[in-house]
Structure formats: C-alpha cells, structure tokens
A = this chain, B = another copy of it.
Amino acid sequence: MFADPISRLRRFNRAVTSELGVLDNSFLGRGRPLGAARVIHAIGPDGAEVGAIRNTLNIDKALLSRLLKSLITEGLAELHEDPADARRRIARLTPAGRAELDAYNALSDAHARALLDRHPAPGALLEAIDLVASALARDRIGIVPADPRRDAARRCLEAYYEELAHRIAGGFDVTQSCDPDATDMTPPRGAFFLAVSDGLAVGCAGLKGSGGPVAEVKRLWVAPGARGLGLAGRLMRRVEDAAHDLGIATLRLDTNSALPEAVALYRNAGWTEIDRFNDDPYPDIFFEKHL
C-alpha cells in the first residue's frame, strides 16, 4: 500500500478527533462544565445508581458527590434512597434535567447530521464506519438476551430477510417461510440473542423451542461490517448453551447453500447434515446437533 499502517492509523486518529470532537463538545455553549454534563449523561433518562455512575465515569466518589450536589441545587437531578440498601442512592433527572439531556443529544445529533449531509457518498461512508467501529470495539461486543419483537431485534431480522432476498436465487419472502412465532423464541420455550456493540445491535440468533426435547436454531445473522470477528460462532455457542439450560437434547436448523459461510460454520461447530425435516421452500441443507 501507499503508506505504512501506523501512519495510516495515526492520520485516521487526527481526522477523527478533529471532526468528531464536535459531537462530544455538545456540552459547550450550555454553560456547564464537562464533568456535570457527563454526569447528566450517565444518569440517563431512567436514572442510575450512584455507584454505577461512578463506575462508568471512572470518577472519585468525593468528586461525584459534589457534582451531583451541584446538579441538585440547579434543579436538574434528585437523589433517592435505594429501597434495597439505605446506604445506596439512586440519581434521577428531574423534568428540567431530562430537558437538558435532550438538548445535549439534539446538539450532538445536529452535528452528526451535518457531518453526514455534507458527504457525497454517505452510504459508503457509513459502511466503512460500521466496519471500523466493529473492528475497534471488538472486545466489547457482548451477546445479550433480547425480545425478538422489540426494535433492535426487529431491525436485525429485517436486515436478515433483506439479505436473504438478495442472496438466495429466486428471492425470499418471509410470509412464505415458516416464520417462528415470537413466543417460541422467548423464555420459557426458547430464546433470542443480540450481539451488541456500543449500544448498536450488529447480529442476532434465535432458539425456537416447542416445549419438547427438540428445538431449532433460527435467524442467525451478523451485520456485514461486523463479519470476520467470530460473532456468528459466539452467537451459536450462546444459543446452544441456552438450549442446554432449557433441557433440550437435539437442535436442528435449516439453511441454504447460497450462504456458504453459514454452512461452513455449522460443519466446523460439530453439526451433521441430515435429511430435510420441513417443507419450507427456501432451505436446501439441514443440520442437526445433539447436546
């Protein structure tokens, strides 16, 4: 390439810090020091334990105590006793405090929108952005249980359907496929997991239970920018663990030979190919694994 990796990364660092700094500088012009603004952000719309705030902000307890006091005298926050432990406090934003949080976010969003709007090819930029973010945040991507009916999960599923439509010859239509009922993919019958990176869902996988000893793995998907990081394997392992905990003895799944990465993953993860076990029109390969 035309320059060594280190200088490319450092140039990236310079570009990013000088351009993206404005997103974090939304606290400027609101007449409040950075520390207090960060605390408002850390409390969040739903409140937070004081200990948790201290943890996320990596701040001394004396300092946090004072910052909270200043927010309280400003009428932006209030402290409540933790009903479970009277030593602990829970910080909540007052309506005025929530308005302040919204104002910060609105400023930051406006900067973000301006940054994207003035770019000639925002699509390509966003794809690269996703890839870099997933790569850098790699170690902080967690697999968490989620409700398949809620926003983040549904966006993943829609992206999954869209990708199937592009990759399977003849397209894909969810309504023609045996779409698992959401209750089959939520406890106690089944489970659903999201791979979450810095608050953004970048992958999913579902366990469709039937109440019996046989269950199915459904909807394994990883966002294009987050591939190559081993997320599909982590999602599968989590699904298998969940199946094991539910007392399921046999797992099955169906897939399509147009998705060779997936097929390879199943083979490497100890799955064995079996005969067709349903009449869904889209899959053409079927696997099974005994737990």
CA distance A1 to B119 in the complex (A): 18
Are B129 and A129 in touch, CB under 8 angstroms?
no
The chain B residue sitting closest to A151, CB to CB, is: B3
Copies in the complex: 2
* Chain B residues whose C-beta falls within 8 Å of the C-beta of A17 in the assembled complex: 20, 24
Shortest Cβ distance from residue A129 to the other chain B in the assembled complex, whole angstroms: 5
Check: A229 CB closer than 8 A to any chain B CB.
yes
Interface of A is mostly: helix
* Residues of chain A from 33 to 90 with CB closer than 8 A to chain B in the complex: none
- From B122, B136, B138, B155, contact of A5 by CB (8 A): B122
Min C-beta distance of A166 to chain B, whole Å: 13
CB closest chain-B residue, reference A154: B2
| Cβ contact of A11, chosen from B116, B198, B229, cutoff 8 A | B198
Contact check, A126 vs B8: say whether CB atoms are below 8 A apart.
yes
Residues in chain A within 8 A of chain B (CB atoms): 1-3, 5-20, 23-24, 108-109, 112-113, 115-116, 118-122, 124-138, 140, 155-156, 158-159, 197-202, 223, 228-230
